[in-house]
Amino acid sequence: MTTTPMVKADRVCKSFGALKVLNGVSLEIERGQVLCMVGPSGSGKSTFLRCINHLEQVSAGRLYVDGDLVGYEERGDKLYELRPRVAARQRRDIGMVFQHFNLFPHRTALENIIEAPTQVKKVRKKDAVVRARDLLDQVGLSEKIDAYPAQLSGGQQQRVAIARALAMDPKLMLFDEPTSALDPELVGEVLGVMKTLAKEGMTMVVVTHEMGFAREVADQLVFMDGGVVVESGEPREMLANPQQDRTKAFLSRLL
């Protein structure tokens, strides 16, 4: 029995004008797997992540999430862009956590978390609040329920952002360098929440420079450079014994 991969990228390209950011990226992520993407700044990692939930349109190729073509429908051999409302419906099944938290500054932790379920999914406020309390407890912030973002540390804000993404019950979570804006001593608390999610079977794509996390948690490690996948494989094996010169050079600076 073959199962549909949670994410399938087939020769995905993305250009901004003359600049080719993604140049034929193909990869698959099975459900329940964690894929970590590493590579130098500007290698296309974040753009690829944004294409998965159609925050960016692909210029060529195909991207599927849970068997569904992202952002387009196929008629004959032509692609037609989905109407914004239909694309938004696809997107709500995909949680995304950004580098810079993106919390509403004028709303408390609780209000940030219940916003999307009540507005987008029309969940009853009472039910959304129960779920939000549970999620804040999961990320270790039950005592910060009424705190505003400005009253929270970076690590706490990022954990609220993760809880907010989980409130939509996504089938896939995308993390775009979730710890890179944090002070070093706060990184562990965010990675701890992500490790728990991985153990619980959440499918995750993580753009990160945290090689310890990749080694311990990821099922697959992908090294990107210049808009292409240079090398991919089992994380421990790849970190210990990279095959490509570009991978070796990159990892030697990090490890």
pLDDT at res. 77: 81
pLDDT at res. 78: 84
pLDDT at res. 26: 96
- Is 45 within 8 Å of 224 (Cβ atoms)? yes
Provide the whole-model pTM. Answer: 0.94
Per-residue pLDDT of the chain (255 residues; tens, 9 = 90+): 568 999 999 999 999 999 999 999 999 999 999 999 999 999 999 999 999 999 999 999 999 999 999 988 888 888 888 888 888 888 889 999 999 888 999 999 999 999 999 998 999 999 999 999 999 999 999 999 999 999 999 999 999 999 999 999 999 999 999 999 888 888 999 999 999 999 999 999 999 999 999 999 999 999 999 999 999 999 999 999 999 999 999 998 877
pLDDT at res. 1: 56
Q: Other CB atoms closer than 10 Å to residue 219's CB: what's the count?
A: 16
- Is 68 within 8 Å of 43 (Cβ atoms)? no
- Is 146 within 8 Å of 110 (Cβ atoms)? yes
CB-based contacts of 178-183 (< 8 A; 24+ apart in sequence): 178/97, 178/98, 178/99, 178/206, 178/208, 179/208, 179/210, 180/99, 180/208, 180/209, 181/99, 181/100, 181/101, 181/154, 182/154, 182/155, 182/158, 183/154, 183/155
pLDDT at res. 5: 95
Q: Other CB atoms closer than 10 Å to residue 3's CB: what's the count?
A: 9
pLDDT at res. 159: 95
Give CA–CA dist 179/130, Å, rounded: 28
- Is 90 within 8 Å of 68 (Cβ atoms)? yes
pLDDT at res. 2: 62
* Surface-to-core class of residue 19, CB atoms within 10 Å of its CB (0-12 exposed, 13-18 middle, 19+ buried): exposed
